[in-house]
Amino acid sequence: MGGGLLLSAIAQDTKNHIFPIAFCVVDKENDASWIFFFEKLKSIVEDKPDLCVISDRHISIVNAFSRVYSRAHHELCMRNVAENLHVNQHCGEHLYLFYAAVKTYSFNEFSKHFSKLKNNCPETAHVLENMLDFDKERHAFFGISNNKFVPFAEKILKKNKSATNSLFVTNVNEDLDQFTVFGNGVITKVNFLERSCSCRKYDLVKLSYKHTMAALRAKYGDDEDYGNSIYDYSSPIYKVETYLLAYSESINIVFLESE
């Protein structure tokens, strides 16, 4: 077979490894090719509000995705955007501010870094605000012998657990689902009913964070229930069995569109 372009969809598994989902060889990259690809992808990756697809700025991806996926979100790859800014806006020495902004979890932190970027590179900030809608896009129990989560997640949990020792927790209304956590000059609100924390890291990573763990300790004490709750209030995507199931599926070939 001569020529052709490879379209692919990948994800990141819970060990931060690249996980291939689907690939397709097409004659050229255009709206029709990406529509065909997304339609096939939709048969295995459901269109739902908590799905986010990240790509470069190719217009055919934007057009095809919006046509096939009506509920999911489409965002831009930060590395691809950064490379374009470096080449076209010549802001290489200040790109660290761009990365700091896109990697933050709270709007306040985002605003702080973006303001610094705007002061140092006003043209870059203008491109991000007006062309990319940048500011609008920012949307293991250690006493149990068998780890429940993959090693990468267990390592994060262990680190977060040790960080809770410097935090103070209170629940003024004696509500066992809502807590206020104090520490390092920061005040955060944890709400277990909504599975949320005002720092936003727990909301997005969906893994028990230091504020969450401190609140869980206040709720359950230091017994086994506390250890189990660390997992119960984390996403099941980090479970070992979920990780293994992700790699247990066979590769199914999709026939040519003409067939």
Give the three-state DSSP class for 148. Answer: coil
Instruction: Answer yes or no: is 52 within a domain.
Output: yes
Instruction: Answer yes or no: is 259 within a domain.
Output: no
Do 17 and 36 reside in the same domain of the chain? yes
Instruction: Answer yes or no: is 189 within a domain.
Output: yes
Identify the domain boundary among 95, 113, 137. 137
253 residue type, one letter: I
Instruction: Answer yes or no: is 103 within a domain.
Output: yes
Instruction: Answer yes or no: is 12 within a domain.
Output: yes
Do 94 and 124 reside in the same domain of the chain? yes
Instruction: Answer yes or no: is 144 within a domain.
Output: no
pLDDT attached to residue 69? 94
pLDDT attached to residue 135? 52
Do 45 and 95 reside in the same domain of the chain? no
**Contact in structure between 41 and 69 (CB atoms under 8 Å):** no
Do 200 and 239 reside in the same domain of the chain? yes
pLDDT attached to residue 2? 59
pLDDT attached to residue 143? 35
Query: What are the structure tokens assigned to 23, written together?
Result: 């690939």
pLDDT attached to residue 147? 55
Provide the domain limits for residue 220.
151-244
Identify the domain boundary among 137, 162, 179. 137
Do 155 and 240 reside in the same domain of the chain? yes
pLDDT attached to residue 84? 85
**Count of domains for the chain:** 3
- Rounded to whole angstroms, the Cα distance separating 85 from 253 reads 39
pTM: 0.58
Do 240 and 159 reside in the same domain of the chain? yes
pLDDT attached to residue 38? 94
Check residue 222 and report its DSSP letter. Answer: T
CB crowding 36-68: b at 16 or more within 10 Å, else e: bbbebbeeebeeeeeeebeeeeeebbbebbeeb
Do 91 and 53 reside in the same domain of the chain? no
Walk along the chain (259 residues) in steps of 10 and give the mean pLDDT of each run.
81 82 90 93 90 89 92 89 85 87 82 88 84 52 53 87 86 82 89 90 89 90 84 89 76 68
Instruction: Answer yes or no: is 145 within a domain.
Output: no
Do 52 and 106 reside in the same domain of the chain? no
pLDDT attached to residue 37? 93
Do 228 and 158 reside in the same domain of the chain? yes
Do 64 and 89 reside in the same domain of the chain? no
pLDDT attached to residue 103? 85
pLDDT attached to residue 3? 72
Instruction: Answer yes or no: is 252 within a domain.
Output: no
Identify the domain boundary among 54, 76, 98. 76
pLDDT attached to residue 30? 92
Q: What is the pLDDT of residues 93-130, one digit of tens each?
A: 888 888 888 888 777 888 888 889 889 888 888 888 87
Q: What is the CA radius of gyration of the chain?
A: 22
- Rounded to whole angstroms, the Cα distance separating 199 from 205 reads 11
